[in-house]
Amino acid sequence: MTFYSIPPLLTLCCFLGLAALTIFRGPRTKTNLLFFTICILGSFLYIDILFAFNVKSAEAALRISRIDHFFIVYLSPVYLHFFHEYLNITGRKWLIRTVYAYAFFLMCLTPTPLYITSMEQHYFGYFAKGGILYPFFGLAGLFVTIYVLIQIVNAIRKEANSSHKNRLKYLFAGFGIMGLMNGLNVFPTHGYSVYPPGNLSFIPLIIFAVGLFKHDLLDMGILIKKSLIYSLLTAFLTCLYALIIIVADKVFKNFNFSDSIYFPIFFFLLIAFVFGPLKSKIQVFIDRIFSKGKYDYQKTIKHVSRVIVSELDYDEIAKLLMDTVVDTMLVDHCSLFLLDTSGAGFANFSSRGKQIYPGGSISMGKDNPLIKFMKNHRQLVKRKNLRGQTSPPEIQDVLSDMDVLGAEIALPMVFKENLNGFIVLGEKLSGDLFTREDMDLLETLAGQSSLSVENARSYKLINDLNKDLEKKVEERTMDLKEALSEKERTQEMLIRSESLAAIGQLVAGVAHELNNPLTSATSLVQATIEDIDQWDKQDPPDQDLIDDLQFADKELGRAKLIVASLLGLSRQTQTYSEAVNINSVVKDALRVMYSQYKHHDLEIVENCARNLPDIQGNFANLGQVVLNIIQNAVQAVMDIKGTVYLDTWFDSEKGQVVFSCKDTGPGIPESIRQDIFKPFFTTKEVGQGTGLGLYICHEIIQKHGGTITLEGTDGQGVVFEVRLPLDG
């Protein structure tokens, strides 16, 4: 293989690579099948050229060339047909049929000298010499090429979408220029020894391949990656280096210094000072063409996606989101749609860039096809990829919604399976396509934005609730203060009412107790007076008279003690504090209760500790507690001949004076023990109890800093234990 065979070999490789890519990765559309056919026919053409450049026999070259041209004549009609499909030109089918018929006519003549007469030897190898009819093939190709270029230029002028416009430009620079270059092969076919310009078609094909990867010209879904470009660059430089070595070896093989040490040193310096910097500069050039700051905005968007989560204000979130997307991805517009307060649809919350919506705002209902599509798929919606995801009727409805929004991409903002909003992106100002890396970044940003919006919504809801709660708390606080004051007043009245009831009982008991001794004393005093009146002054008083007077004195003293106890237990001063001996409280309570139990068959056993220390408290209130507890115990045993045990002692470890009252009555069921200290709870029959006795006892003991508890017993009865601190 000669040096002149390299350009057609590269062109052949380009055609075969594009054909393989189209058949294995491209969708089975009519456009792609026509493109695949162009690549195959182009491959036949350059196989013919390579064979002619390297074969030694003109007859063999002529035979192969005529066989190849049997198919190659269809390049022009297929080329025309492809661009009609690609540009969606539907009104000129007659032109396509005419060119196909013309090609069929030429195909029938390709084996004859009328088409190719012979093969001529040139400095680059054999090349076909056209016959009388060969110029008709060239003219047809020239006409088709010029016609196609005109159609592409018109399409570029009419196209408003930057991305589509860029695709057309790459088509123009790729296949359009390639057609012109192949048309210039007319010079060697007419005998001029000019290297065929069509052999350099790999250059426009490479341009087309760049557009194919960068702008997805044939909807293959393959976008170029930086790593792939670097790999191809390394392979290209390696081939170039090998080619230089081969050429240098052939050129300098007859020179003496080719075998010296200086020859490899020269190539080492060539690699170090030429290929190294050249590779770096080409890499920078590739970064400028394909990246365009992509890696900078990747960092920016990743940073923003982290920062935006901590933001709790809708306006700040929207501003940060719009500025980031528009400024870094350079799209013509970006809009944020959020679920409205009613939950019936999505309203345009914020926009930046080109004015798309009439009046500056637009809303989308939950029944809109685009909204349903995002709810069902829960992933980024890209206009270009819609056709492969769902049925055509739904596609058209979704595309219609995206047209209304001016959207190339719609990013759903999903949080916990709920669609809270979506982000709309227009096309890039550069006309470039959104790459897979762009999609990943945008999906990350949408996910973080969704979380941020949900945080802001929750924060707003909590903030509103807090404001309402503060207002309600303030209102409730006033109500509670009022209720507390009322409770204290009511409690005070209840205590006083119970105290008055207790006083009534005390007064009745005292009146009864005082009546008997006073009556007895009065009778005896009267009898004594009568006796004294009859006394003889010389005769001393009778001893019985003395005894009667002593008895009267005793009874009157007893009445005095009862009255004193009554007065002590009935004092109403609640804040009065004094030294109180609990034994005295118990004894006074028993004196008052005596009239209630003296006629019943029951026993009261007192076991009061001697030298019991005094406590600080209110004698009357503590007397009411002890009286209430003893009264309950007496009532529990009076009909069963039971016993009431009253004990007092001092708990030195805790510094408490203890009063205990135990009875042998029927006891209190476990089911109601937790309720006995509650107000208005009673086990007595209707009209026999208010349900306030133990509740008031509990309140009084609490005010004294002590405790009153119902202790468990092994058998029948109950035990009430009151513990009071010494200092009150």
Residue 203 burial (10 A CB sphere; 0-12, 13-18, 19+):
middle
Nearest to 219 by CA among 157, 275, 164: 164
- Whether residue 573 is predicted with pLDDT greater than 50 in this model: the reply is no
Instruction: Give pLDDT, residue 658.
Output: 95
DSSP 433-473: PPPHHHHHHHHHHHHHHHHHHHHHHHHHHHHHHHHHHHHHH
Backbone angles phi, psi at 196, to 5 degrees: -60, 115
pLDDT computed for residue 369 by the predictor: 85
Q: Please give the CATH superfamily to which domain 573-725 belongs.
A: Histidine kinase-like ATPase, C-terminal domain (3.30.565.10)
Give residue 671's pLDDT band: very low, low, confident or very high (50, 70, 90).
confident
pLDDT value at position 54? 83
pLDDT digits (tens, 9 = 90+) for 377-418: 888 888 877 765 555 667 888 888 888 888 888 888 887 778
Q: Which of 166-175, 571-580, 702-711 has the highest mean pLDDT?
A: 702-711
Q: What is the mean pLDDT of the chain?
A: 77
pLDDT surpasses 50 at 572: no
Ordered by start, the domain boundaries in the chain are 3-223, 225-291, 308-460, 573-725
pLDDT of residue 607: 92
Q: Where are the alpha helices (DSSP H) in 253-391?
A: 262-270, 276-286, 294-307, 314-329, 369-377
For 557-585, give one letter per residue: b (16+ CB within 10 A) or e: ebbeebeebbeebbeeeeeeeeebbbbbb
pLDDT reported for residue 389: 54
What's the pLDDT at 367? 84
Q: pLDDT per residue over 286-328, tens digit each?
A: 655 555 555 565 666 667 766 776 777 777 777 887 887 887 7
Helices (H), 535-618: 543-569, 582-597
* Pairing state between β 116-122 and 125-130: antiparallel
Work out the angle at residue 12's Cα, subtended by the Cα atoms of residues 53 and 100, and round it to the nearest 5 degrees: 100
pLDDT surpassing 70 at residue 650: yes
Summarize pLDDT for 226-275 with one digit per residue, the tens.
Answer: 555 555 556 666 666 666 666 666 666 665 555 556 656 666 666 666 66
Helix (H, G, I), strand (E, B) or coil at 186: helix
- Separation CA 701–CA 707 (nearest Å): 6
Could you read off the pLDDT of 530-554 as tens digits, one per residue?
666 666 655 666 666 666 666 666 6
The answer to whether 638 and 588 are in contact (CB under 8 A) is no
**392 — phi, psi (to 5°)?**
-55, -40
| Burial class of residue 74 in the structure, from the number of CB atoms within 10 Å of its CB (0-12 exposed, 13-18 middle, 19+ buried) | buried
β-strand 381-382 against 418-425: which pairing, if any?
unpaired
- Provide the pLDDT for residue 400: 84
What is the per-residue pLDDT for 668? 82
Question: How far apart (Å, rounded) are the C-alpha atoms in residues 128 and 48?
Answer: 10
**How far is 179 from 198, CA to CA, in rounded Å?**
8
pLDDT of 331-386, one tens digit each?
Answer: 888 888 888 877 778 888 888 888 777 666 788 888 888 888 888 888 888 887 77
Residue 649's identity, in one-letter code, is W
pLDDT in tens, 163-218: 778 778 888 888 778 877 877 777 888 778 888 888 888 888 888 877 777 777 77
Per-residue pLDDT for 451 more than 60?
A: yes
**What is the DSSP annotation of 499-514?**
HHHHHHHHHHHHHHHH
CA angle (381 as vertex; 378, 385 as ends), nearest 5: 125
SS3 state of residue 566: helix
- pLDDT average, residue stretch 664-677: 80
| CA atoms of 593 and 602, how far apart (whole Å) | 13
684 versus 440: which is more confidently predicted?
A: 440
| Segment 64-67 long-range contacts (CB within 8 Å, at least 24 positions apart) | 65/116, 65/119, 65/128, 66/110, 66/111, 66/115, 66/116
Q: How confident is the model at residue 721 (pLDDT cuts 50, 70, 90)?
A: very high
Element at 309 (helix H, strand E): none
**Quick one: pLDDT band at residue 502, thresholds 50, 70, 90?**
low
Give percent of the chain with pLDDT exceeding 70. 72
Fold type of domain 308-460:
Beta-Lactamase (3.30.450)
The order of strands in the sheet holding 656-663 is 603-608, 643-651, 656-663, 719-725, 707-711
Tell me if 665 sits within 8 A of 717, measured CB to CB: yes
Q: Which CATH number is 3-223 given?
A: 1.20.1070.10
Whose tokens are 């590779």? That residue is 279
pLDDT at 723 over 50: yes
Q: Is the pTM of this model over 0.85?
A: no
Greatest extent of the chain over all pairs of C-alpha atoms, in Å = 196
Query: If 0-12 CB within 10 Å is exposed, 13-18 middle and 19+ buried, where does residue 88 land?
Result: exposed
C-alpha angle with apex 464: 461 to 465, nearest 5 degrees?
Answer: 85
Give dist(CA 52, CA 90) in Å, integer.
40
User: Which of 587-601, 635-649, 690-704 is predicted most confidently?
Assistant: 635-649
Could you give the angle at the alpha carbon of 136 between the alpha carbons of 133 and 139, nearest 5°?
155
* Rounded CA separation 178/172 (Å): 9
Of the listed ranges 12-21, 68-77, 354-363, 661-670, the one predicted with least confidence? 354-363
Cα gap 476→464, rounded to integer Å: 18
The answer on pLDDT for 71 being more than 80 is yes
Nearest partner of 698 among 722, 727, 667, judged by Cα: 722
pLDDT value at residue 645: 92
- By CB atoms closer than 10 A (0-12, 13-18, 19+), residue 599 is exposed
